[in-house]
Amino acid sequence: MIGKVFRFYYNGFRSMTWGRKLWRIILIKLFIMFAVLRLFFFPDLLKRDFSSDEERGNYVLEQLTNP
Amino acid sequence: MFESIDMSLVDWSRGQFALTAMFHWIFVPLTLGLSFIVAFMHTIYVRTGDEEWKRITKFWMKLFGINFAIGVSTGIILEFEFGTNWSNYSWFVGDIFGAPLAIEGILAFFLESTFVAIMFFGWNKVSKRFHLTASWLTAFGANLSAIWILVANAWMQHPVGTVFNPDAARNEMTNFWDVIFSDVAVNKFLHTVTSSFLLASVFVIGISAWFLLRKREVLFAKRSTVIASMFGVIAAIATIATGDTSARIVARKQPIKFAAMEALYEGQTHAPLVAIGAMRTDTTKLPNPREDFIFKIEIPNALSYMVFLTPSGFIPGITDLVYGNTEQGYMSYEEKIERGAVAIQTLKELKKAKERGDEATYSALREKFSDPVWLDEYYKHFGYGYYKGRELKELIPNVKLSFYSFHVMVILGGHFLIFSLIVLWLSLKNRWGNHKWLLWVALITLPMPWISSQAGWVLAELGRQPWVVYELMPTITAVTRLKPGAVQLTFWIFLATFTVLFIAEIKIMVTQIKKGPGGK
Ligand code: HEM
C-alpha cells in the first residue's frame, strides 16, 4: 500500500512537464519565507523574549495599562 | 495617552499588513471559486465520458494549479506579522487566533496536499469516481480552510463568545458556537465565498472570450462559458443578497462604518441612499461637518428601507454617533471615553493590587470583570479610554475611502449580474461569440472582480478603524514598539518579493493560456 502511494507520487512528479517550474517556485518561496523571513526578520517576540505565559501576560498588561 | 507613540511606526506596520493581505487576496478568491468550477466540469466529463470535457477540465485545472502553487502559504506571512509587528494584539485575542487556526491550517494542508495531488496525478491512475471525489474534496477543502480566518476576522469586527481575563490580559473563549455562528461570521463567510465564485466565473468567461476572439478552440470556449455563466448568475445573485445582509449587519453593529460608507454626517429618517457620488477633496470634518459631495444621485428613502425595511427608520450620521443623540439613544464619544478610561484604570489598579499582594482590593476589582452590569457599562467601552485627551476625529474611519470602496464594490456587483445574465442568455441560444464587442467587454471585465473583492476588504478593515478589535483594542495599542526603519525594510522586501511572484504568476498563466487546452 505504502509502496503504491509512493509510486503514485513519484511517477506523478516525474512525468510532470510545466508543473516542475511551479515546484521550483514553491520551494524557493518556502525557503525565503521560513529560512530568511521567519528566522531573521519575523521572530515571535513574546515567545522569544519571555519564558512563561505569565510573564507574557504581565508584559502585555503593562502595555495596555501604561501605553 | 499615547503621546509617545510614533505614528509612522503605526502607518508602516499597517501598510505592511495591508500589502501582504491584499497580495494574498489576489490568489485566494480564484482558488476558492475555480476549484468548484473545475469539480463541476470534471463531473460532466465523468458523467458523459466526452473527451472534450476532459480537455476542458484539464485546462482549467492547470490554471487552478498555477494559482494554487503561487498563492499557497502566502497567508502564513500574515501570521508572522501578528507575532512580530502586532504582538500585543495577538496576545490579547488569545484563543481566537490560536489553536483553531493552527489546527485548521494543518488539516487543510494535509487534506489539500493529498487531494490536490490525486486531482493532478490521478488521470488514468485511479478510478474515475475516486478521481472525481478528489476534485470535489479539493474544492471543499479549500473553502473550508477559509472558515476560521474569516471567523477570527468577524470576531474582530464584533467580539462575542469570549470573556476578557484581566490576569492574563487575554480573551478566552466561553462559547465556541457564539463565535463561529455569530451573524457577522456566517454572513462574512457566505459573502466572501459567493463573491469568490463570482470572481472565478468572470475569470473563466474572460479567458474563454479571448479564445473566441482569436477563433481558437471554439467548442472548448463556448462550453466553458456556459458553465461559468451559470455559476456567475447564481454567484452574482448570492453575492448581492449576502452583501445586502452585510450592510444591514454593519448598520446595527458598526454604525459609524455604515455612516462612513454612505458619507452620512447628519442622521435622519427617510434617509436616501447615494447611488453615485463624488466627494470633495477639501473636507472639513468635525466639529463642523458639512455637505461633502460635489455631486450625487440619491435614491430617496432607500437607506432607511435597506436597514429597517421601513422608510421611517432613523439612520444615525457621524455627528449623532460622535456627539451623541439622546433622543435616538446614542451615547456620545466623550461619555464612552470617560467610561473606557475607568475600565483601563480598574485594570491598572488590579494589576498593582496583585503585585502588592493586596488580596482584598484585588478580589474586589477582579469581581468587576465578571459582573455583567459593570462589563456593559464600562468594559464595553474599554478601547475608547485610550482616546482621553486626543482629538475625537481620530475615532472616525476614513470617510472617503469607506464611501468609494463600498460604492465601487456595489456598482461592479451590479455590472457582474447583468453581464453574466447576458452571457448565459446568449450562450444558451448559442449566440455567444457572435458579437465581437461583447467578447471585448468580457475581456475588460476579467480583472474587475479583483477590484471589487479588494474594495470589500478595504471597506471591512479600514471602515473598522481606529479599532483592531472593535471598541476594545485600538490599532495604536495593538502595534509592537519596533523601530519604524525595521518595519520599512521588511515592507520593501515584501514589495519586491511579491512583485516577482506576481509577475511569475501572470507569465506562467499567460504562457499556459496561449498554449490552450491542447498544450503540454
Ligand atoms: C453588489 C452588492 C454588494 C453589497 C451590498 C456588498 C456589501 C458589502 C459590505 C457591507 C461589506 C463590509 C462587511 C463588513 O465590513 O463586515 C462587504 C465586504 C466584502 N465584499 Fe461586498 N458587497 C457587494 C458586492 C460585492 C462583490 C461584487 C464582491 C466581489 C466580487 C464583493 C466582495 C467583498 C469582500 C471580499 C468583502 C470583505 C469580506 C467581508 O467583510 O465580507 N462584494 N460587502
ipTM of the complex: 0.86
- The C-alpha cell of B280 is what? 470633495
Output the residue whose Cα is nearest ligand 1's atom 19.
Answer: B456
Name the DSSP letter for residue B387. Answer: G
Cross-chain residue pair A67–B351, CB shorter than 8 Å? no
Q: How far is the CA of B458 from the centre of ligand 1 (A)?
A: 10
**Backbone φ and ψ of B56, nearest 5°:** -60, -50
Grouped pLDDT means (10 residues each) for chain B, 520 residues: 69 94 94 96 95 95 89 82 90 78 75 84 88 93 87 93 91 89 96 98 98 94 97 98 96 96 92 89 56 84 92 93 93 95 94 90 92 94 93 91 96 97 96 94 97 98 95 92 88 90 88 83
Please name the residue of chain B whose CA is at the shortest distance from the CA of residue A44: B83
What residues contact residue B259 under an 8 Å CB cut-off, 6+ apart? B265, B267, B315, B316, B317, B318, B321
Cross-chain residue pair B477–A22, CB shorter than 8 Å? no
- Confidence at residue B176, expressed as pLDDT on a 0 to 100 scale: 87
Range of the domain at A57: 18-65
Cα B49 from Cα B117, distance rounded (Å): 22
For residue B5, which residues of chain A lie inside 8 Å, CB to CB? 67
Residue A31 lies in a domain: yes
Question: Sign of torsion, CA B265 B267 B270 B273?
Answer: positive
Q: How far is the CA of B239 from the centre of ligand 1 (A)?
A: 8
Q: Look at A50 and B238; give whichever has higher pLDDT.
A: B238
Residue A53 lies in a domain: yes
Residue A44 lies in a domain: yes
C-beta of B240 in contact with ligand 1 (< 6 A): yes
Q: How far is the CA of B86 from the centre of ligand 1 (A)?
A: 26
Specify the 3-state DSSP secondary structure of B395: helix
Cα B95 from Cα B331, distance rounded (Å): 31
For residue A37, which residues of chain B lie inside 8 Å, CB to CB? 77, 80, 490, 493
What DSSP string runs through B158-179?
A: S--SEEEETTTTEEEES-HHHH
B314 vs chain A: nearest CA distance in angstroms?
36
Residue A47 lies in a domain: yes
Residue pair B237/B191 in contact by the 8 Å Cβ criterion: no
The number of distinct structural domains making up chain A is: 1
C-beta of B232 in contact with ligand 1 (< 6 A): no
Specify the 3-state DSSP secondary structure of B473: strand
- Confidence at residue B291, expressed as pLDDT on a 0 to 100 scale: 55
C-beta of B29 in contact with ligand 1 (< 6 A): no
- Confidence at residue A67, expressed as pLDDT on a 0 to 100 scale: 64
Cα B102 from Cα B104, distance rounded (Å): 5
Residue A54 lies in a domain: yes
- Confidence at residue B282, expressed as pLDDT on a 0 to 100 scale: 62
A45 vs chain B: nearest CA distance in angstroms?
6
Whole-model pTM: value is 0.93
Residue A10 lies in a domain: no
C-beta of B239 in contact with ligand 1 (< 6 A): yes
- Confidence at residue B283, expressed as pLDDT on a 0 to 100 scale: 56
Residue A32 lies in a domain: yes
Beta-bridge partners for B162: B173
Residue A4 lies in a domain: no
- Confidence at residue B405, expressed as pLDDT on a 0 to 100 scale: 97
